[in-house]
Amino acid sequence: MEVINTLGRRKTSVARVYMKNGTGSVTVNGRDFKEYFPTMPLQYRVRQPFMITETEGKYDVNVNVHGGGITGQIEAIRLGVSRALVEVDAEWKAKLRAEGLMTRDPRMVERKKYGQPKARKKFQFSKR
């Protein structure tokens, strides 16, 4: 199996995922994912697509991710890994979609408008 290249996005985070057959190592920006994401809930989200498809320990994943915060980066990685697994076996798509892992979350930060301090907040109004 050659290297499978996919992309995952969430908010302003972009994750480029490179997956190939291997021993199950996951590298994020040149570091082990357990070092990059130190807490268990974050690590669970990275492993979730593999757990659903019962393929833990079968693929080596190398991820380059930038932009956004920790949560956005995790969700982007999870989407990229899910897309890569679907390229390996299309039958996994139904399982992953049922768990909500195949959907690109379109919600983005609303832009700030002029004449206001934030996107929706208004400056204090004084009648007199």
User: What pLDDT, on a 0 to 100 scale, did the predictor assign at position 128?
Assistant: 87
Candidates 64, 89, 91, 72; CA nearest to 7 is 64
Check whether domain 4-99 has CATH 3.30.230.10, yes or no:
yes
21: region left, alpha or beta (phi > 0 left; psi from -120 to 50 alpha)? beta
Average pLDDT over residues 2-31: 94
107-127 pLDDT, tens digit per residue, is 999 999 999 999 999 999 999
User: What pLDDT, on a 0 to 100 scale, did the predictor assign at position 1?
Assistant: 72
Candidates 62, 68, 49; CA nearest to 6 is 62
Map out the domains of the chain as residue ranges: 4-99
Model confidence, pTM: 0.90
31-80 pLDDT, tens digit per residue, is 999 999 999 999 999 999 999 999 999 999 999 999 999 999 999 999 99
* Phi, psi for residue 108 in degrees, rounded to 5: -125, 165
